[in-house]
Homo-oligomer: A and B are copies of this chain.
Amino acid sequence: MSETISGRLTAAGHELDVRIYFEDTDFSGVVYHARYLHFLERGRSDFLRLKGFDHRALMEGAFGSPMAFAVRHMEIDFLRPARIDDIVTVETRSRLVGGARILLDQTIRRADETLVTAAVKVAVISPEGKPMRMPQGVMSGLAPPDAEAGG
């Protein structure tokens, strides 16, 4: 069960299925736009989790200096709306894993329809919120075989 609830690693990255509930919709009848950022964050968190890094362990320093990730920049297109009862799939791919930041491409789709696309820049910060470099073990665990080198 815990595999399914955390999505699945793929050749390209990670996929997570998300159900649309009442809480996600607004008075216009479709999903409130900011909710898609929650779904994207769930995808990133479960991608990390299946790579062996959960947020609490990162924050507690289980892999080196205590650290967290913080979103620094996002460019997002809201193409089509999701609706209540839908199941949508969040796809997450890392484009660049650097020492101090990660660039990711994410999409949300319903079957073959792309609903949302996002380019996301995530920075590494200390528990006090200061920029820092990722512990080496985290960085090598997250780097995809075909990612650009960078930092």
Contact = CB atoms under 8 A, between A and B. Distances in A.
Interface of A: 1-2, 4-6, 17, 19, 21-23, 25-30, 32-35, 37-38, 41-42, 45-46, 49, 54-56, 59, 68, 70-78, 81, 83-85, 87, 129
B19 A5 contact: yes
Contacts of A4: 1, 4-5
Given A49-B85, A73-B78, A78-B73, A22 B17 contact: no
Main secondary structure of the interface of A (DSSP, over half): mixed
Contacts of A38: 21, 23, 34
Contacts of A45: 21-22
19 contacts: A4-B5, A19-B42, A19-B46, A22-B32, A22-B45, A23-B26, A23-B32, A23-B41, A23-B42, A25-B26, A27-B27, A27-B83, A28-B59, A33-B71, A34-B34, A56-B83, A72-B78, A74-B74, A75-B76
